[in-house]
Amino acid sequence: MQERWWAAIPGFALLGLAAAVLFSRIAPPALSGLSGALFLGSIGLGFLAVFVTNPRHWWAIIPGGTLISLAGVTALDVVRAEFLNPGSVLFIGLGITFGVLGALSGYLNQNLRWAYIPAAILLIVGFVIATPFAGVLTWLWPLALIALGAYLILRRSRAFPLSWLDVAGNQIDKAQIGKADAPTVLETQEGDVSKDEPAPPSR
């Protein structure tokens, strides 16, 4: 089963397609558009099934959560839930997806804590869109990018403190030692001339 993990994706897609066609025929006309959400959600479940059958394929959580989030947005558009912002639902769903991925670091014995960074950004954007202060995003995006860049720079500098200076210094020292050990051109020529001169006659 683990060797054929990929079969879960087309399998769930075909099941979702059949369910969507059946739903569009029996559902009221006003809700027939939910068939698209049903199809997207089934593909997302296929990716999640890949992770369940073989946890090594943790990457399947990302497309699975994304497709399920898109299914939720499609469903909201069909039922016309005006009290929920589709964009907010999408960003919050993506944030939850990355948050779950980061929380599985201990279970998978892999360092997936980097997923908390996009999770936090997506959740903040999703909640801001849901509020009347959506205009704050024009200021929030640049500040978030600056903070993220500063965090990555500080993290790298702590992991490799001034390593480039040490490497450069070692290269300079090796070059100076090589120059000191190597004979100059003048010394080489003088040595060659002295070898070619005949020895003085002995008395």
Q: Model confidence over 3-32: pLDDT tens digits?
A: 677 888 999 999 999 999 999 888 888 788
**Residue 163 backbone phi and psi in degrees, to 5:** -65, -35
Q: Model confidence over 159-187: pLDDT tens digits?
A: 555 454 455 455 555 555 555 555 554 45
Contact by Cβ (8 Å): 128, 140: yes
pTM of the model: 0.65
Token digits of residue 67: 């497709």
Rounded to an integer, what distance in angstroms lies between the CA atom of residue 152 and that of residue 175? 33
pLDDT of residue 174: 54
pLDDT of residue 148: 73
Rounded to an integer, what distance in angstroms lies between the CA atom of residue 108 and that of residue 146? 31
Q: Where are the domains of the chain?
A: 5-136
Task: Using 50 as the pLDDT threshold, list the residues of the chain that sit under it.
Answer: 162, 164-165, 168, 185-186, 193, 203
Cα distances (Å, whole numbers) of residue 146 to 121, 127, 140, 149: 13, 20, 10, 5
